[in-house]
Amino acid sequence: MFDIITSILSALGGFGVFLLMLAENVFPPIPSEVILPLAGYTAAQGRGSLLMIVVAGTLGSAAGAVLWYYVGRWIGIDRLKRFASRHGRWLTLTPGEVDHVDRWFDRYGHWAVLFGRMVPGVRTLISVPAGVSGMPLGPFLLSTLAGSAIWTVILVLAGYELGERYNQVANVIEPVSNGVLALAVIWYLWRVATFGRSRRRSDRHH
């Protein structure tokens, strides 16, 4: 993986950063915490403009996010509610809870997208509920570009400043990313195991 990223950056420069960040958002196993610090390191060596790398990384990241946003738009709230009515346990949401999440996203979605774009393990997935809830494309793009730009700048500058030790960035972020994913899996399994329990308890009291 590392050799492939290095060869793409060497051959294509800023356009390579754009393509890699687009791919990172479509195929999450390609890690931005490797791509961007390495790109920052190459800029420190004089093989590319720092500004060009930041712009290319931000635009590539946003382009991948837009793809998932439209996946969410395709799913839509009505289709999601129908799925919840049939397979609510695996979604861990009832149709009524889907409506509640939709209203929450209508109110706070721009902040969720902005900060979600900076959280490892959440960066790609946050675009789907934005699309499902019907968040307008304009605000989604603004929040996505802002969050992606902050994330890109942090990682590129880290690689630029660390020089040959740029891979230390991935060594710090990877455990955080794995921890976030592990917590998400544990939370999901707990939701599946306890799905409907509070409703059944409420029914007994009535």
181-190 pLDDT tens trace:
777 778 767 7
User: How many domains would you assign to the chain?
Assistant: 1
Q: How many residues does the chain have?
A: 206
**Of 28-32, 93-97, 126-130, which one has max mean pLDDT?**
126-130
Q: What is the DSSP letter of 173?
A: H
The pLDDT score that the predictor gives to residue 200 is 47
Residue 158: what residue type? Answer: A
Based on C-alpha coordinates, what's the Rg of the chain?
Answer: 20
- Let me know if residue 103 belongs to a domain: yes
Query: Torsion over CA of 26, 28, 34 and 38, rounded to 10 degrees?
Result: 0
Which residue range forms the structural domain that includes residue 164? 2-198
d(CA 175, CA 171): 7
Q: In Å, what is the CA distance from 76 to each residue of 32, 116, 124, 197?
A: 29, 20, 18, 27
Average pLDDT over residues 47-62: 88
d(CA 203, CA 158): 55
Average pLDDT over residues 10-38: 79
The pLDDT score that the predictor gives to residue 29 is 60
- Let me know if residue 162 belongs to a domain: yes
d(CA 156, CA 72): 30
- Let me know if residue 41 belongs to a domain: yes
- Let me know if residue 205 belongs to a domain: no
- Let me know if residue 135 belongs to a domain: yes
Smallest Cα–Cα separation from 43: which of 64, 66, 74, 16?
Answer: 16
Residue 34: helix, strand or coil by DSSP?
helix
- Let me know if residue 112 belongs to a domain: yes
pLDDT digits (tens, 9 = 90+) for 32-53: 777 888 888 888 877 778 889 8
- Residue 75 pLDDT class (50, 70, 90 cuts): confident
Helix and strand numbers (H, E) in the chain are 9, 0
Average pLDDT, the chain: 79
**Long-range CB contacts (within 8 A, 24+) of 28-32:** 28/123, 28/124, 30/1, 30/5, 31/170, 31/174, 31/177, 32/57, 32/61, 32/123, 32/151, 32/152, 32/155
- Let me know if residue 176 belongs to a domain: yes
**pTM assigned to the model:** 0.76
Return phi, psi of residue 83, to 5°. -65, -40
Average pLDDT over residues 106-131: 84
DSSP of 170-195: HHHHHHHHHHHHHHHHHHHHHHHHHT
d(CA 185, CA 147): 24
Average pLDDT over residues 80-91: 71
The pLDDT score that the predictor gives to residue 62 is 93
- Let me know if residue 204 belongs to a domain: no
**Range with the poorest average pLDDT among 8-12, 30-34, 89-93:** 89-93
Q: Which two tokens stand for residue 63?
A: 């382009």
